[in-house]
Structure 1
Amino acid sequence: MKQIFTLGFSFYFFLLFGQEAETELQTLTEVYNLSIGDSFEFDDYKIRFIDVLSDSRCPKAVMCVVAGEAKVVVEVYKENKKLSTKNIVFTPTFFMPNKKGNLFDSEIIKLTGVELFPYPVADNQVPKDDYKLKLLLEELVQ
C-alpha cells in the first residue's frame, strides 16, 4: 500500500512539474500610411491601396444632416496571386475594435483599415493624390 501511495504521489508531481512553462505572447504593432497605388508586404502577403471610390464625409466646421462616408478599395495578394478585393467603408460611427482584421485576420495576424485622411474641409475638394489610407498590422509573437 505504501508503495502504491509513493508511486501515485511521484506520478502526480511528475505531471505537475514536468510541463513546459507557457510562453507569453506579445503583440507587435506597425502602422502604414499608403497613397493610392502604393503597397506593402508582410510574410507572403501584399496589400495594395487601389482607389477612393467616394468621399461624402461631412467636412470639418460644417453642419450636415447626414454624416456621410468614405469608401476605398484594397487588394490582398498572397505569393503574387490576388486573393481578394476588399471595400472598406469609413463612417463617423465606425467603431474600430469591432472591425479589427477587416482586411486580413488569422490566428496571429490582424490587418485593419483604420482611417482615410485628409478629412474633407468645406469648399475644398481633396485631390485623389492627397489621400492616404492608414493601416494597422498586429502580429502575435513569442
Structure 2
Amino acid sequence: MVVLIIKPTMKIALFFLVLFHSVLIGNQDPVPSKYNVQEATLCQGDNLVLGDKEIKFKEIISDSRCPKRVSCIWAGEVKVLVEFYQDGKFKGEKVITGSNYSAGNASVTASTDISIAEFFKNSEFVIKKVVVMPYPEAGYKIGEEEYSLQLMVSQALKK
C-alpha cells in the first residue's frame, strides 16, 4: 500500500498548476462548428425560420402516448404534421412519428436524425430532436391549441 503525503507548500503549488492549466484551456479559440444548429419551441401554426427556409408546425395528427402515472403495455406514439417552405413557396410536408415519454417533469425523446434535405435542395438539413408537449395525463384531454413542438434542426455547413 502506498501512502501519498502532500505538504502544504505542495498543495499550494498543485492548486496554482491546476488554475494555470484551466486558464490556458479556457482561453483557447473554440473549434469552428461544422453545423448550424437551431432550436425552437413552436405552437401550432408557428414557423422555424432558417434563412430563406421555414419549417411549420401544422398539426398533431394523433396522440396515443401512454399517460403519466399509468402502466401501459405499449408506450404509444404521437404523429405530427410539419410543412416545409423555401422563399415562401410550399415545398412539401412530412408526418413525424415518435414516442417521447415522460420522466418526472421532463419529456424525453431519443435522437431523431430525420433527413429533410428532400425539401431543400443542395442542403444537408436534419431534424435532430422532436419533443411534443404537453405530455398526456390520465383523465385530461389535451386541447389542440395546448400542443407545442420543440424542434432542433442541424444543417451541415459548406467547407
Q: TM-score, normalized by length of structure 2? A: 0.63
- Check 1:40–1:92 CA distance in 2 against 1; reply closer, same or farther (3 A cut): closer
Q: Across the two proteins, how many residue pairs are aligned to each other? A: 117
Alignment correspondent of 2:98:
90
Q: Which has the higher contact order (CA 8 A, sep 6+)?
A: 1
Q: What is the RMSD computed on CA atoms of the aligned residues?
A: 2.4
- Asked if residue 59 in structure 1 is aligned to residue 72 in structure 2, the reply is no
Q: TM-score, normalized by length of structure 1? A: 0.70
Listed as ranges, the gaps of 5+ residues in structure 1 are 1-23
Equivalent-residue separation in structure 1 for 2:71 and 2:140 (angstroms): 16
Q: What is the identity percentage for the equivalent residue pairs of Structure 1 and Structure 2?
A: 29
Q: Which amino acid aligns with 1:126?
A: I
Equivalent-residue separation in structure 1 for 2:136 and 2:115 (angstroms): 24
Alignment correspondent of 2:113:
100
Listed as ranges, the gaps of 5+ residues in structure 2 are 1-30, 102-108
Between Structure 1 and Structure 2, whose CA radius of gyration is higher? 1
Equivalent-residue separation in structure 2 for 1:63 and 1:76 (angstroms): 37
Alignment correspondent of 1:18:
none
